[in-house]
């Protein structure tokens, strides 16, 4: 195996343009900018185009986002170097056309492919991220107390909450999938206190769920006293590569706080899904995706996204909502009051907890759902239970009826959360116009999925060489190869064959020749439709020939087949034009009609099977 794996991101970009049939004038312009600006053109500048176009469709005019696209040259009301792409989306006056699903998908795939590329950050980026973390937390804490009181009453009246021991009995404390901050109290990692009633090697009946959680300490057989608030156990704030917007903030919670937090998460994620009939979701994104798809047809539903949601949940609000609900109040005490930054500085936390805590996701979703439902109930004069059926939440992805979107904005503001309007889509359409909606990774326009593929390389730590336009991976080769292979398979199945072919070539340069496979698997292999055999049948002048391979499980998008139609998988690769003229292809039935004067042969040196005369 080669010691160095590398990708030429300039070549990768051009292969993507080839797959998408991007006009040569646009490609040449992008290559010139890529040469002078480096990879940031692909990860920062070009994504502005895709996001701007999407917002323009939402706002109903390309001219309304002109001030956000100043990095590109304009010629009147058109983007000069991208006019061949945008002319399929907008009229000359800048208003969106009607059927633009394919054109919208193409320009978003072209401009946003590198947007989520997980690049490492330098000391300057780290310092900026720390400053941002402290600033955001300093703004957390204020909320409308009278509104919070209404929320508290609705919570208490709408749910039947369990006892503490029921939670631990059904969902035992466990390790999480990530890392944690270890205790600094002595050498015994099991020193932890979770309740003044919990005894070592002995439990009162209502704490049977704790059995096995606490470990005996040989020199001590008494009751553990409540910890001092100045304990040296604390979460560690970490910054990990995310995308072009900067590093992601996570917290490594102390081990025994984390184990208790995960009991809370495991129990209440299932509890609130059942209690709300999946209006609050933690495991199933399909509900939000289906609503987003329906909402994209006529705008019945609005999709809202929140800024820095996990870092903006006020602890004081959580404390207020849970003060008369013992089980919620108890688990809220498992939060940490301060955290250690990478610089070594300690900060007191105004928020409940960060991403990485088992408390955050549950409380974020519950607050969003309860707040919006409370506002709808108050403003519309309907019962809270009825209003709660009109709100759908998955983490910070919120869906409400478009007629209630202003109520949602008001409610979220009252609890200290901030709506990201650039990633929220809520305007209704007029007449025959359709709209764009996105939620939980599902992107839709007019009911058609226009989701795109992105290269992320999470956990690969690529090193950028601007001079050679390469991403080099010097370590963790197994992780790099696995990630690249999975992405190549994804691109191959979605019709981006040139991109997939280039990536497989780089993998093979390090691993040797790859075996071929018809679908992704745990084995490093090249996913291809290369070997297709046919079974001829029927009588008469023409015979029906059925392919034994299945259609791709992942299609570019329903109704969008202009680029990589399935007929291309059935079309024989031959030089004689008369054969092409004689073939009738029916990709929907996975078959084609071929004259009797030809027979099928499987030729392994060809990308497709060949037709030859008898």
pLDDT per residue as tens digits for the range 235-276: 888 888 777 777 888 888 888 788 889 999 999 999 999 999
Q: Say if residue 590's pLDDT is above 80.
A: no
> 305 pLDDT band (50/70/90 cuts)?
very high
- What tens digit of pLDDT does each residue of 139-181 get? 998 999 999 999 999 999 999 999 999 999 999 888 776 555 5
- 3-state DSSP call for residue 242? strand
CA 4 from centroid of its chain's CA atoms: 30
State residue 98's pLDDT score: 85
| Cα 326 from Cα 566, distance rounded (Å) | 59
Q: What is the tens place of the pLDDT at every residue in 287-304?
A: 999 999 999 988 999 999
> Average pLDDT of 178-193?
42
Provide the pLDDT for residue 177.
Answer: 67
What is the distance between the alpha carbons of residues 564 and 279, in angstroms, rounded to a whole number? 37
Q: Let me know how many helices (H) and strands (E) the chain has, helices first.
A: 20, 24
pLDDT for 255 equals: 80
Enumerate residues 6+ apart whose C-beta is below 8 A from 179: 252
**pLDDT surpasses 50 at 530:** yes
Q: Are 207 and 197 within 8 A, CB to CB?
A: yes
Task: Give the DSSP H/E element, type plus range, for residue 257.
Answer: helix 255-275
* Highest mean pLDDT pick, 193-202, 311-320, 528-537: 311-320
User: Which pLDDT band, with edges at 50, 70 and 90, does 37 fall under?
Assistant: very high
Please state, for a pLDDT cut of 70, what percent of the chain lies above it: 75
CB 341 within 8 A of CB 347: yes
Say yes or no to pLDDT of 186 above 90: no
Residue with tokens 């590329």: 117
Beta bridge partners of 535: 546
The domain spans of the chain are 123-181+234-439, 534-613
Q: pLDDT tens digits for 88-115?
A: 999 998 899 988 999 999 999 999 999 9
Query: In this model, does residue 214 exceed pLDDT 80?
Result: no
| 394-446 tens-digit pLDDT | 988 999 999 999 999 999 999 999 999 889 999 876 655 689 999 998 999 99
For residues 121 and 198, the model is more confident at 121
């Amino acid at each position: 195996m080669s010691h160095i794996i590398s990708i030429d991101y300039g070549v990768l970009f051009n292969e993507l343009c080839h797959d998408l049939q991007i006009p040569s004038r646009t490609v040449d312009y992008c290559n010139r900018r890529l040469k002078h600006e480096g990879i940031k053109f692909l990860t920062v500048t070009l994504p502005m185009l895709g996001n701007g176009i999407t917002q323009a469709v939402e706002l109903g005019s390309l001219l309304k986002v002109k001030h956000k696209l100043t990095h590109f040259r304009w010629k009147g009301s058109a983007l000069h170097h991208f006019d061949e792409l945008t002319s399929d989306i907008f009229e000359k006056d800048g208003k969106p056309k009607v059927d633009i699903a394919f054109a919208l998908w193409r320009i978003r795939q072209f401009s946003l492919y590198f947007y989520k590329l997980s690049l490492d950050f330098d000391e300057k980026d780290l310092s900026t991220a720390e400053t941002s973390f402290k600033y955001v937390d300093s703004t957390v804490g204020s909320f409308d107390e009278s509104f919070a009181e209404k929320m508290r009453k609705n919570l208490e009246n709408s749910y039947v909450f369990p006892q503490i021991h029921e939670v631990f009995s059904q969902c035992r404390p466990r390790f999480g999938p990530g890392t944690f901050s270890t205790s600094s109290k002595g050498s015994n990692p099991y020193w932890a206190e979770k309740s003044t009633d919990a005894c070592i090697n002995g439990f009162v009946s209502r704490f049977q769920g704790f059995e096995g959680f606490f470990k005996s300490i040989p020199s001590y057989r008494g009751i553990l006293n409540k910890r001092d608030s100045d304990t040296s156990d604390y979460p560690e704030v970490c910054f990990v590569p995310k995308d072009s917007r900067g590093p992601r903030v996570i917290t490594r919670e102390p081990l025994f706080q984390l184990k208790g937090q995960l009991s809370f998460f495991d129990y209440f994620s299932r509890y609130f899904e059942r209690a709300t009939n999946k209006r609050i979701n933690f495991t199933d994104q399909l509900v939000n995706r289906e609503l987003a798809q329906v909402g994209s047809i006529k705008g019945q539903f609005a999709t809202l996204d929140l800024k820095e949601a996990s870092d903006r949940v006020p602890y004081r609000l959580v404390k207020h909502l849970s003060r008369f609900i013992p089980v919620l109040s108890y688990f809220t005490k498992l939060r940490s009051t301060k955290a250690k930054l990478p610089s070594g500085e300690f900060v007191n936390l105004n928020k409940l907890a960060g991403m990485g805590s088992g408390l955050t996701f549950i409380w974020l979703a519950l607050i969003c759902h309860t707040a919006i439902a409370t506002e709808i109930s108050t403003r519309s004069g309907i019962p809270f239970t009825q209003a709660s059926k009109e709100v759908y939440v998955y983490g910070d992805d919120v869906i409400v009826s478009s007629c209630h979107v202003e109520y949602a904005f008001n409610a979220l503001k009252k609890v200290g959360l901030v709506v990201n309007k650039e990633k929220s889509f809520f305007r209704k359409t007029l007449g025959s116009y359709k709209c764009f909606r996105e939620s939980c990774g599902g992107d839709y326009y007019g009911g058609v999925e226009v989701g795109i593929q992105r290269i992320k390389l999470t956990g690969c730590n690529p090193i950028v060489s601007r001079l050679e336009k390469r991403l080099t991976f010097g370590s963790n080769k197994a992780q790099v190869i696995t990630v690249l292979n999975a992405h190549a398979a994804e691109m191959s199945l979605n019709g981006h064959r040139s991109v997939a072919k280039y990536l497989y070539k780089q993998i093979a340069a390090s691993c040797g020749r790859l075996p071929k496979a018809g679908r992704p698997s745990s084995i490093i292999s090249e996913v291809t439709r290369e070997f297709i055999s046919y079974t001829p049948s029927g009588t008469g002048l023409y015979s029906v020939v059925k392919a034994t391979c299945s259609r791709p499980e992942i299609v570019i998008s329903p109704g969008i087949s202009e680029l990589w139609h399935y007929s291309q998988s059935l079309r024989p690769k031959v030089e004689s034009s008369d054969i092409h003229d004689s073939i009738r292809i029916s990709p929907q039935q996975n078959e084609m009609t071929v004259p009797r004067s030809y027979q099928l042969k499987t030729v392994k040196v060809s990308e497709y099977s060949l037709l030859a005369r008898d």
